[in-house]
Amino acid sequence: MPTTTAVDIYDEIEALKVREDAAILAHYYQDGEIQELADITGDSLKLAREATKITNRTIVFCGVHFMAETAKMLNPEKRVLLPDMGAGCSLSDSCPAPALERRQNQLRAEGRRFQTVTYINSTAAVKALSDWVVTSGNAEEIIRRVPDDVEILFVPDRHLGQYLIEVTGRPMILWDGSCMVHEVFSVGDLLRLKRRMPESLTIAHPECPTNIREQSEFVGGTEAMIKYVARYEAPTDFLVATEANMLWQLEAKVPRHRYHPVPGVTCACNKCPHMARNTLEKLRDCLAHGTPEILWQPQFERAAEVLRRSLLDPSAK
Residue 161's contacts (CB-CB under 8 Å, 6 or more residues apart) are 154, 172, 174, 175
Whether 75 and 51 have beta carbons less than 8 Å apart is answered as: yes
**Phi then psi for 179, rounded to 5 degrees?**
-95, 130
Element (H, E) at 260: strand 258-261
Residue 68 engages ligand SF4 in binding (rule: CB under 6 A): no
Q: What is the nearest approach in angstroms of ligand SF4 to the Cβ of residue 284?
A: 22
Nearest CB to ligand SF4, comparing residues 16 and 61: 61
Amino acid in the structure at residue 237:
D
Tell me the Ramachandran region of residue 169: left when phi exceeds 0, alpha when psi lies from -120 to 50, beta otherwise: left
Contact 79, 72 (CB under 8 A): no
Cα–Cα distance measured from residue 148 to residue 115, given in angstroms and rounded to the nearest whole number: 11
One of 29, 61, 154, 259 touching ligand SF4 (CB under 6 A): 29
In this complex, which beta carbon is closest to ligand SF4, that of residue 90 or of residue 130?
Answer: 90
Does 181 engage in binding with ligand SF4 (CB under 6 A)? yes
Residue 249 found at the interface with ligand SF4 (CB under 6 A) = no
- Per DSSP, helices labelled H in 21-80 are 32-37, 44-51, 65-74
By CB under 6 A, is residue 121 in contact with ligand SF4?
Answer: yes
Between 20 and 84, name the residue whose CB sits nearer to ligand SF4.
84
Q: Which of 30, 58, 90, 245 binds ligand SF4 (CB under 6 A)?
A: 90
User: Among residues 27 and 72, whose Cβ is nearest to ligand SF4?
Assistant: 27
- Contact segment (CB under 6 A) with ligand SF4 among 69-77, 136-144, 161-169, 272-280 equals 272-280
* Using rule CB under 6 A, residue 180 touches ligand SF4: yes
Distance of CA 37 to the CA centre of its chain: 19
Contact flags string 274-293 toward ligand SF4, x per CB under 6 A: xx------------------
- CA dist., res. 36 & res. 30, Å (int): 10
Residues in contact with ligand SF4 by CB under 6 A are: 29, 64, 89-91, 121, 179-181, 243, 272, 274-275
